[in-house]
Structure 1
Amino acid sequence: MKISLANRIEVALFRHRLFVLVLFFLTSVFLLFQASQIRLDASFTKNIPLEHSYMKTYLKHRANFGGANNILISVCDSEGDIFNPEFFTALKGVHDKLFFIPGVDRIQVKSLFSPSTRFVEVVEDGFAGGPVIPADFQATTEGLAIVKGNIEKAGIVGGIVADDYSCAMVKAALLDINPETGEKLDTLQIAEKLENEVRQSYEKNNITVHIIGFAKMVGDVAQGAKGVVLFFAIAIAITAVMVYIFCHSIRLTILPIFCSLIAVVWQMGMLSSLGFGLDPMSILVPFLVFAIGVSHGVQMINSVVKKVGLGLTCTAAAQASFRALLIPGGIALLSDTVGFLTLLSIDIGIIRELAITASLGVAMIILTNLVLLPVMLSYMTIKQSAKVGQLKEESTVWLALSSFATKGPAVIILSITAALYLVGFYKGQELKIGELHAGAPALHESSRYNTDTFLITDRYAISVDYMSVIIETTPEACTYYDIMSTINNFQWRMENVAGVQSAVSLASISKIVNAGYNEGNPKWRVIPRNQQTLVQSIARVPSSSGLLNSDCSVMPVILFLEDHKAETINTVIDAVQAASKVLGTEQVQFKLASGPVGVMAATNEAVSEAQVPMMLYVYGAVILLCLISFRSIRATAVVILPLYVVSTLAQWLMTALDIGLTVSTLPVIALGVGIGVDYGIYILSTMSTKLNEGAKVQDAYLAALKERGSAVLITGLTLAIGVSTWFFSDLKFQMDMGILLTFMFLVNMLAAIIVLPALAAFFWPSKAEEEKDSGEVQIAGRTGI
């Protein structure tokens, strides 16, 4: 039935070759126009698992307490302290500029110039206070001295003023919607404004501006992602050289590259037509689509040229190659597609978009490289003497490699493979979920963004890695001693957890205020038991402080962490859950989590939960496709087992290189499986035909090597060399992906050439061995053994 279907498609296709070419041309023109309309699209919510319980809490209370999508701008004086007119002019300018950027939540803009930045001091009559910077402030010696005194009274040194008075901070939160347009906030536009209108406008002379936050980080990633265009050009050049070495023809080199570029154009055009943008984190996918397309194109070129060498015309060779490669090539590309689609099971928007982007690209390859390419080849003139993939001693090399399909060498190969698998499985258990390094993980530590991050964390007493534990209780709960005492006990427990630098809550502020009402005596730094006194101690804390909502029914405890490494986050999350079991009641409920680290914790848990199901889905789908293609359990086994070993070794490599399993590295495993299976399918498709004809395993493997060995080697090397250029990327996540993909492309190719035939030697015993085994069974039966 397969052959009949392939024949029907072949006849319909090649009878109407001109119509097919015109249809492809018109479609390409339309989709090229659509592709020109595509734009980079980054959104904070795409990077978080919205259905996770932590994120439901985060979204529920984001309006009152802000979210994790914050901007921190530190304005510094590189030659002294901040108390000079030039610095305060720059700080005021940064505050005002940030305040009026569309998409910034103006209520939550905070700096020394914010009216909500106030000081309170104890005087003879009780308390006195006001804004840190008075309304009549003048940057004179006297005015600056007053501000310095107010800063110290306000207790904001280390918060929005650096410990050494060299910098001051401007903080803000971003909205999801641009209030001017009513559309989704353009994060990349915000990043551009921060760079051009804030940093470049006010960073001059001895004033420096340091900006961090999700929007700025994504903007820097987008800038680094523009380098992907250069890597794309390098990859095309490398691919062209490799394909030319393979086919020794400029025309045959251009064709598969042209068809693969058409697939990329179609992919971009389809994304634009469907209303999708291209996220900076998935901008690498078009390169993968191009590389996959070339690898399948080389298989088609290889087949056509060899059939021409057997005496067929170009048209007949193209038809025969189309018929021969439609099923194995289609199955291989479907495996790639399924590998990408399994990523839809992960509840993180950016990964789902990557899955859709990659799946569309591979679907386009099925049309451009399995349909368009053979049709175009049918119009070419190829000499019968043309050769592809010829090695000087090809027959000797292939003959030597074919020995892998005999039991002697196979035992050695499988023993080494088993040993590597056991070590890889053992070491792979040490693979950690989440980020393992300080700073923004998508960027190198030496990047401007991470340099700014390290400066801010070094000069301020606060950490940019913070998490809010939301305490939900009853209205006016902050006026009851038992509830405030419970919050205070929880905070004390958290402050004594390894990895927590400090913590703040309404309860801790009320203790400070209560002491102030009692002449600052530290003995009175306790939560008042008297309700009137307790109300007095919290009355001056506004809801804009982020420590309570309007009716005091929700109060967060903000935990400042040493870093955002996976181990630190896990330790703190475990401690929060343990404390909530002890202290939580129906009246007082501790809910995880908000803040940047809360988002990271939810993301890490989503990645951890998705890891095993994703692998089961991708392997299940690939196994099903192999069973459909080969209709043989043992044929499926010899393709899948090497693939599984390489996946295990990839996890060992991640552990050895200190690469955590994150949003950017998790898809690589699925991509490696989906693309890596192609090699085995192409080799086994020839082997299975020969085996069904009664050939020995070694002879069947030798025939497969002669027909497709060169193409498999060249595509594996081309893919590996292409992604290896990512080692030099400005983006750390791209570098990590490049390392892992290079490993998986190369080792999967080697596994298909070395391990697959070794397995086949045992899965397909020769007829002599079968007769021998049958004879031994009969003798044993007659002798009663």
Structure 2
Amino acid sequence: MGKIQQDTWPVIRDLRDFDPRSGNRLERLVFNHRGLFVLLMALVTLVLGYMALSRLELRPSFEKMIPQSQPYIRNFLDNRASLRGLGNSVRVVVENTQGDIFDPEYLETLKQVNDKLFLAPGVDRAWMKSLWTPSVRWTEVTEEGFQGGPVMPDTYSGAPADIEQLRQNITRAGIVGSLVASDFKSTMLIVPLLDRDTATGKGIDYHQFSRMLEEQLRDQVEFAGDSAARASGEEGSGKYKIRVIGFAKLVGDLIDGLIQVMLFFALAVVTSIAIIYLYTRCIRSTLLVIGCSLMAVVWQLGLVAWLGYAIDPYSILVPFLIFAIGVSHAAQKMNGIMQDIGRGTHKLVAARYTFRRLFIAGVTALLADAVGFAVLMLIDIPVIQDLAITASIGVAVLIFTSLLMMPVALSYVGVGAKAAERALKIDNRAAQHRGFGKLWDLLDRFTTRKWATGAVLLALLMGIGGFMVSLQLKIGDLDSGAPELRADSRYNRDNAYITSHYALSSDLFAVMIKTAPEGCLNYDTLILADRLAWELQQHPSVQTTVSLVNAVRQITAGSFEGNPKLASIQRNQDMLNYAAQQASVNAPELFNTDCSLMPVIAYLKDHKAETLDQVVAIADQFARDNSTPERQFLLAAGSAGIEAATNIVVREANRTMLLYVYLAVALFCLFTFRSWRAMLVALLPLVLTSILCEALMVVMGIGVKVATLPVIALGVGIGVDYALYLLSVQLHYQRQGMSLSDAYQNAIAFTGRVVGLVGITLAAGVVCWAWSPIKFQADMGILLTFMFLWNMLGALILIPALSHFLLKSKA
């Protein structure tokens, strides 16, 4: 075992023997005015805490989830006014469990649901569809010409004759499978949403909208006013059931789950307290570690509110990451001070010694974290950019809370005498090859040729194997429904019901055809639209397609007594004009008012990544082959089109993000160590962790999407802390002339032990996320647990092994 030499500075028991003018300028400024510094920190915490409580908003946004500059999204946003029904919408199904829809009581209930949704804030009322909206119409050909009207009879009163008329109208309208279930036991209400509430001018409050759906619809219709039964998450046992899907409902369910997220955060804090206390047996230093880390969270949330940002269900996990990083740095300071106090040094001097040893390494690690998080700003998805800003702010404040406040606070309260004596005994036992010394002996073997070679070869094999598995990593959703929630969640059960009972899904992929005014009625344009629809229909995942072509065919044939020979696109422009005029009444969503834009809408059976990729390939190839200055085929609108565009951005960003993160971390390591060899020693274990994490995602069936994209970058940010602390101490002793073995032993004794402690503490804090009702939080918990533990093992095993080959001589 190598020689441990921790006391490189003299043991000073009396403050009169210490020169307060020693140390750098920052150390003198902080510690020589520490009372004023603590008061200032307390005042800032109070102000930012008040801002966090009074001004911080939970404000999810549909637009923030989509890449604003992506060409497909740009096309959609530029033409959004003409595509009112192909953006953000909610679908509500009212099911009759004890009969069918031709029940006067059911129809009255459906009317009440329709009226409540119609009057709800943020609803685009002109484009809402249900059996009770006049825009849902039927048309038929008679000897006298066309006849039609609303599906719901104007004179409906609930009489048997009215019910029979409704039954005929539904059949004639052809809405079975779209608005009416195939088994006639339920009907659907399609509710498009505006970007902003017209009454307030603000963005839609999705949480409030979701609560309205629960309290005014589910509570009253499905649970007969029993909100407690609804809160259980089970379905009601009454006659009617309400089923809801859509972005607004998904976000509302995620926000509802955040209460449990807070409980998991509290559990992580309690777990951290327990583990750190078991290690230190000092309650005051344990509480200071936790307190300084929580102070960072308060500062972060307060600054986010002060700068006018909001949090959302996807960035709500960032405060825990800030807490985790804060615990890592504060524990290092606590450990160093405890060791010096155990040797007899005065608590103020011990605090200043630890500040000198670890401040530069800590600042460098935090700056590397901040830059790594800031790299996420390059991803053209606003919700990830907001996450990057939130995380970068949190990391920046850790410089004040964990690197400055922690040692200053410990300079006042110190550590318990028994705890300091216990720490010194542990160090002495380790030096005598007892206790932790046996573990240090084992780790020290990785500085030898035999063990280093074995560790590096094993890591290389794991890296190659993990890389081969990671090649199967998919972009986007891998399952139907909402992967952010559990498969047995109410939302996904509702989605499964709708998918199985309705022929047309809610996954719409639309290609926009843009022409000059009145150009969409051009014969060539309609023929090309028909060809595009046909090509899309050949894909097995496309259920059907809808466009103006369908309406023109039907109306043209109907104008000639249903002659099947005329169920085609006619060259006669007058016939096309007449067909479009008729279509504008029954299906106004098929083209805009001046007929310069019409969508070809494909109904997809799901929104899995593979499905979207293949449909995009078909549509994109057709667009490139047939677009001209007079007639442009533009991708993409509809929920599936927007998700396909998002997947494209995520795919492009996935590798470039990691490249930029590692480039930033590499530059900071190079700046800190002044050695490219040391930079490689710090970086290679992190690269292995990233590769294995992607392989784990493949094994767990997790796709890369907006919710999961940042997790690997965040894991790198936390992992680099371990390497910087361990290597900075190791290189310090190597540059003093120690051998690699002795230098590593000193690094392990001073910082490595806390690396293990922090890794276990953080892993224990997030592993309980695996039981969260929010699936993407559960997935993040498993991935972060893996990264915390593997980064710890990588730092303790691979750093000495790689150092044997790259840093064996004096650095």
- Could you tell me which amino acid in structure 1 is paired with residue 48 of structure 2? L
**218-227 or 609-618, which moves further after superposition?**
609-618
Residue 82 of structure 2 is matched in structure 1 by: 64
> Equivalent residue for 1:566?
609
2:337 is aligned to 304
Give the structure-1-normalised TM-score.
0.95
Superposed, 1:121-270 pairs within 5 Å as 121-203=140-222, 204=224, 205-270=238-303
Kept after mapping to 2: 8 A contact 1:510/1:537? yes
Match of 1:25 among 34, 42, 47: 42
Work out whether 1:751 is the aligned partner of 2:769: no
Query: SS at 2:702's partner residue?
Result: coil
User: How much does 1:396 deviate?
Assistant: 2.0
Is 2:520–2:597's contact at 8 Å kept on the other side of the alignment?
no
2:384 to 337, 351, 369: 351
Is 1:510 matched with 2:552? yes
1:6 CA drift (Å): 6.1
Paired residues of 2:129 and 2:135 also in contact (CA < 8 A):
yes
Structure 2 Cα separation of the partners of residues 591 and 198 of structure 1? 38
1:5 deviates by 11
Cα deviation for residue 512 of structure 1 reads: 1.9
How far does the alpha carbon of each residue in 1:338-361 deviate from its partner, in whole angstroms, 9 at most, with x for none?
Answer: 121111011111101111111111
Is 1:407 equivalent to 2:426 in the alignment? no
Partner of 1:778: none
What's 2:473 paired with? 431
Give the Å deviation of 1:387.
Answer: 1.3
Give me the whole-angstrom Cα distance separating, in 2, the residues matched to 1:247 and 1:7. 30
Inter-partner Cα distance in structure 2 for 1:353 and 1:197 = 33
Cα distance in 1 for residues equivalent to 2:808 and 2:49: 53
**Could you say which residue in structure 2 is the equivalent of 1:387?**
423
Q: Distance in 2 between matches of 1:553 and 1:679?
A: 60
Residue 766 of structure 1 deviates from its aligned partner by 4.8
* In structure 2, C-alpha distance between the alignment counterparts of 1:494 and 1:145, rounded to whole Å: 37
| Aligned residue type for 1:695 | M
Tell me the equivalent position of 1:16. 33
What SS class does the counterpart of residue 332 from structure 1 fall into? helix
- Give, in angstroms, the shift of residue 187 of structure 1: 2.1
Matched, 1:611 2:654: yes
Q: Would you say 1:720 and 2:763 are equivalent positions? A: yes
CA contact (8 A) 1:335 1:675 kept: no
Q: Which residue of 1 aligns with 2:63?
A: 45
Which amino acid in the other structure matches residue 106 of structure 1? R
CA shift, 1:180, in A, is 0.8
Closer, same or farther: CA 119–684 of 1 in aligned 2, 3 Å: same
Shift of 1:265: 0.9
Equivalent position SS for 2:423? coil
Tell me if structure 1 keeps the 8 A contact 2:82–2:597. Answer: no
1:658 counterpart = 2:701: yes
Matches within 5 A, 1:79-158: 79-158=98-177
**What does residue 708 of structure 1 align with?**
751
Per-residue CA deviations over 1:484-526 (Å, capped at 9, x if unaligned) read 1111111111100232111111002211222222333434321
CA 1:620/1:570 → structure 2, altered by over 3 Å: closer, same or farther?
same
Instruction: Give the superposition deviation at 1:588.
Output: 2.1
Residues 266-665 of structure 1: matches in 2 within 5 Å?
266-382=299-415, 383=417, 384-387=420-423, 393-542=435-584, 545-665=588-708
Could you tell me whether the CA contact under 8 Å between 1:300 and 1:374 is conserved in 2?
yes
Normalising by structure 2, we get a TM-score of: 0.92
Write the deviation string for residues 703-728 of structure 1: whole angstroms up to 9, x where unpaired: 11111121010101111111111101
Cα distance, 1:683 vs structure 2: 0.7
State the SS of the aligned residue for 1:501. strand
Q: 1:199 to 1:545 in 2, by over 3 A?
A: farther
Greater mean deviation of Cα atoms: 155-164 or 541-550:
541-550
* Greater mean deviation of Cα atoms: 186-195 or 89-98: 186-195
Deviation at 1:266, TM superposition (A): 1.0
User: Secondary structure of the equivalent of 1:730?
Assistant: coil
Q: What CA distance in whole angstroms lies between the structure 1 residues aligned with 2:41 and 2:498?
A: 55
Amino acid at match of 1:51: S
Which amino acid letter does the alignment assign opposite residue 452 of structure 2?
Answer: A
3-state SS in 2 of match to 1:539: helix
Residue equivalent to 2:15 = none
Q: Is the 8 A contact 1:122 1:519 kept in 2?
A: yes
1:308-364 CA-partner distances (Å, limit 9, x unpaired)? 122210110011111111101111111111121111011111101111111111112
Paired residues of 1:498 and 1:571 also in contact (CA < 8 A): no
Taking the aligned partners of 1:431 and 1:119, their CA distance within structure 2 comes to 47
How far the C-alpha of 1:438 sits from its partner, in A, is 0.8
Distance 1:202 1:457 in 2: 22
- Once residues 547 and 523 of structure 1 are traced to their aligned partners in structure 2, the CA distance between those partners, rounded to angstroms, is 24
CA contact (8 A) 2:508 2:640 kept: yes
- Verify the 8 A CA contact 1:98 1:198 in the aligned structure 2: no
1:560-618, Cα deviation, whole Å (9 max, x unpaired): 11111111000000011122233333322110001111111111111111122211211
Q: Secondary structure at the match of 1:180?
A: coil
Contact 2:678–2:807 (8 Å) recurs in 1? no
Measured after TM superposition, the shift of residue 199 of structure 1 is 2.5
For 1:509 and 1:439, how far apart are their aligned partners in 2?
31
Provide, for residues 508-561 of structure 1, a one-character-per-residue CA deviation record: whole Å limited to 9, x for no partner.
Answer: 221122222233343432112222222222221127631101111111000011
User: What's the % identity of the aligned pairs?
Assistant: 44
Amino acid at match of 2:272: T
Q: Deviations over 1:3-57 (max 9, x none)?
A: x996211111111111011111111111111111222111100100011111111
Number of aligned residue pairs: 765
Structure 1: distance between partners of 2:435 and 2:34: 39
Write the deviation string for residues 421-474 of structure 1: whole angstroms up to 9, x where unpaired: 111222222211111111012111111111111111211111111111101122
Residue 200 of structure 1: how far off its partner (Å): 1.9
Q: Which amino acid aligns with 2:158?
A: A
Shift of 1:386: 4.0
Unaligned runs of 5+ in 2: 1-20, 225-237
Displacement, 1:118? 1.1
Q: How far, CA to CA, are the matches of 2:606 and 2:104 in structure 1?
A: 35
1:667 corresponds to which residue? 710
Greater mean alpha carbon deviation, residues 581-590 or residues 742-751: 581-590
Rounded to whole Å, the distance in 1 between the matches of 2:572 and 2:44 is 77
CA distance in 2, matches of 1:285, 1:5: 38
Letter in 2 for 1:43: S
Provide the secondary structure at the position in 2 that maps to 1:385.
helix
What amino acid is aligned across from residue 800 of structure 2 in structure 1?
A: P
Higher mean alpha-carbon deviation, 170-179 vs 215-224, is at 170-179
The answer as to whether partners of 1:473 and 1:553 remain within 8 angstroms in 2 is yes
Alpha-carbon RMSD across the aligned residues, in angstroms, is 1.7
- Bigger drift between 635-644 and 379-388 goes to 379-388
Structure 1: how far apart are the matches of 2:23 and 2:460? 39
How far off its partner does 1:481 sit?
A: 2.0
